[in-house]
Amino acid sequence: MQHDPVDSSRRNFLARTAAIGAAAMAAGSARAQTGRRGGRLVLAAPGGSAGDSLDPRAFTSVYHGNIAYAYGNCLTEIGENNRVVPELAESWEWQDGGKRWLFELRRGVTFHNGKTMTSADVVWSLNLHRTPDTKSGAKTLLSPIADIRADGPNRIVIELAAPYVDLPQVLSDWHLLIIPANTTDFNAGIGTGPFAVKRFVPGQTVEMTRNPNYWKQGRGYFNEVEMLAVNDAAARVNGLVTGEIHLAERIDTKTVALLSRNTQLVVHRTVTGGYRPFVMHCDTAPFDNPDLRRALKLAIDREDYVKRVFSGFGRVGNDHPIAPVDPMFSAAIPQRMYDPDQARSLYRRSGHSGPIVIHASEAPYSEAIDAVTVYKEHAAKAGIDIQIAREPAAGYWSNVWLKKPFCVSSWGARPTAEIVLATAFKSDAPFNDTRWKNPEFDRLLAQARGEFNDARRKEIYHRCQLLIHETGGCLNPIFNDFVDGARANLQGWIPGNHGLSGMRAAERMWFAS
């Protein structure tokens, strides 16, 4: 029989998955020896409100994310180095070119109420986010899925409309917790996670106690965890300094220098895929002129910008949305540098005269006004007059973003490069804030979704990034870092793809003393 390359890559994939699983378990049990049980963790994060619930469909903020990963697990987890590792799914394989995925479930996992987790619970939990009228934040993530069904008590089958390589990454999303089938009282917080919910006051606090039957080795050390909803950044820092709070999510970057001097605190920097571009409409004058777009992109000194506006907390961007931490990042595209002379000549060649208006407010991020002010300075040296139109923060996302031809925007991280590109750069995407329509890009994107060969995939994404870098309306000078604060006696921090160790700090950390 002719050696089928697809078959062998599938076998390799299976082998790789098993190896990752084994490594994770081994690493986990190694960690089990280093962590210390005990203590009561108090964690504070922004984004709680009086209308909160523990229904996974209602999760929207990092506060909810931290709660989610404390009381529940997903099928997969994003582990070290942003690689996907097994969680409630022990292993997985794809068939039919990537249109069908089989997930083998871990056996012997129990929920906090004693019930054993089976495939029926998994199917029910995932389908919560797939009903047509659901308002769940995970709805678009699961939209490529055509059908989910159980195949025996320990396996589920997911059918897709088209091959989709990134399905395991997507299933690690914090909305997609596995909870008991037919749950009606979501606020009881029954899950498989390291901590069981004891008391939940929406918008105020969640109190949890350690789950003694937690299946994951090397995780879940605290005896009790309290997660406070503290929306005010200064209040979070105050609590951290006095020791009332042990972990604070989202510290203002401007205060980091001062906090670092405090020997009882540790400041953790989280590098994510979030980015903060200036977006221009490629179909609206004067930005429909490619020379003008390039001139504007050359007229910013990116290193200076990152240092002055964000106190150095970020990586320089190259006018496309894929971050250096993403495995699909293309290092082959030369970094665009500040070139006022070339900017000036391109600007003149475009034939545009007069000021160029950029709309900004604090709504996307608090440093936005500083950001455009610094850009204005840089562009002035290239002979380009940037005029800043300050917009009110309230209603920015309804009235300015997507509407004004040149404005400040902000994007949070997404699980995969594919989702980043599809959400904002596909021709027909509702959130295409640069109105950039490139048929070749669309074709490449669709091709990459079903491409299982890593090298070929990377090459396709390289071409996508190059297209955006050269012709797009996205001036992206930075991939911003987030900063969290922790008391110095906490250990076990693993850098993650979100703040507070991927929002899993409660599960991963312990008190050293």
Rounded to 5 degrees, φ, ψ at 325 are -80, -15
**Does the footprint of another protein cover residue 419 (CB under 8 A)?**
no
**Which residue, among 331, 327, 325, has the nearest Cα to 497 in the 3D structure?**
325
What is the full DSSP assignment across 38-102? --EEEEEES---TT--S-GGG--SHHHHHHHHHH---SEEE-GGG-EEESSEEEEEEEGGGTEEE
CB of 403 to another protein, least distance (A): 12
Binder to another protein among 140, 260, 264, 284 (CB under 8 A)?
Answer: 140
Select the span of 109-117, 118-126, 202-210, 320-328 touching another protein (CB under 8 A): 202-210
Of 162 and 394, which CB lies nearer to another protein in the complex structure? 394
Select the span of 79-87, 275-283, 392-400, 445-453 touching another protein (CB under 8 A): 392-400
Binder to another protein among 35, 52, 62, 121 (CB under 8 A)?
Answer: 52
CB of 459 to another protein, least distance (A): 31
- 202 close to 51: Cβ distance less than 8 angstroms: yes
**Which residue, among 205, 248, 202, 273, has the nearest Cα to 58 in the 3D structure?**
202
- # residues contacting another protein (CB under 8 A): 36
Encoded one letter per residue, x for contact with another protein by CB under 8 A and - for no contact, window 31-50 reads: ------------------xx
| Half-sphere exposure at residue 152, Cβ-oriented, CA atoms within 13 angstroms | 8
Torsion-angle region of 145 (φ positive above 0: left; ψ -120 to 50: alpha; else: beta) = beta
Q: CA-CA distance, 318 to 259, in Å (whole number)? A: 31
Of 33 and 398, which CB lies nearer to another protein in the complex structure? 398
Q: CA-CA distance, 195 to 333, in Å (whole number)? A: 45
Looking at residues 205 to 264 of the shown chain, list those that interact with another protein (rule: CB under 8 A).
205, 228, 230-232, 234-235, 238-239, 241-242, 244-245
Q: CA-CA distance, 24 to 21, in Å (whole number)? A: 5
Of 48 and 98, which CB lies nearer to another protein in the complex structure? 48
Q: Number of H helices and number of E strands within the chain?
A: 16, 21
Of 94 and 401, which CB lies nearer to another protein in the complex structure? 401
Select the span of 86-94, 112-120, 329-337, 388-396 touching another protein (CB under 8 A): 388-396
CB of 230 to another protein, least distance (A): 5
CB of 76 to another protein, least distance (A): 23
Q: 200 - beta bridge partners?
A: 206
Of 154 and 255, which CB lies nearer to another protein in the complex structure? 255
Nearby residues of 295 by Cβ (< 8 Å), 6 or more positions away? 342, 343, 344, 346, 347, 350, 382, 384
Of 397 and 493, which CB lies nearer to another protein in the complex structure? 397
Looking at residues 146 to 175 of the shown chain, list those that interact with another protein (rule: CB under 8 A).
none
Binder to another protein among 81, 263, 398, 513 (CB under 8 A)?
Answer: 398
Nearby residues of 34 by Cβ (< 8 Å), 6 or more positions away? none
Nearby residues of 305 by Cβ (< 8 Å), 6 or more positions away? 371, 374, 375, 378, 477, 478
Binder to another protein among 97, 152, 153, 203 (CB under 8 A)?
Answer: 203
CB of 51 to another protein, least distance (A): 3
CB of 186 to another protein, least distance (A): 12
Start-to-end Cα distance in the chain: 62
Torsion-angle region of 167 (φ positive above 0: left; ψ -120 to 50: alpha; else: beta) = alpha
The DSSP code for 411 is B
Binder to another protein among 26, 32, 285, 394 (CB under 8 A)?
Answer: 394
Binder to another protein among 9, 27, 28, 60 (CB under 8 A)?
Answer: 60
Provide the binding-site residues for another protein, judged by CB under 8 A. 49-53, 58, 60, 135, 137, 139-140, 201-205, 228, 230-232, 234-235, 238-239, 241-242, 244-245, 392, 394-395, 397-399, 430-431
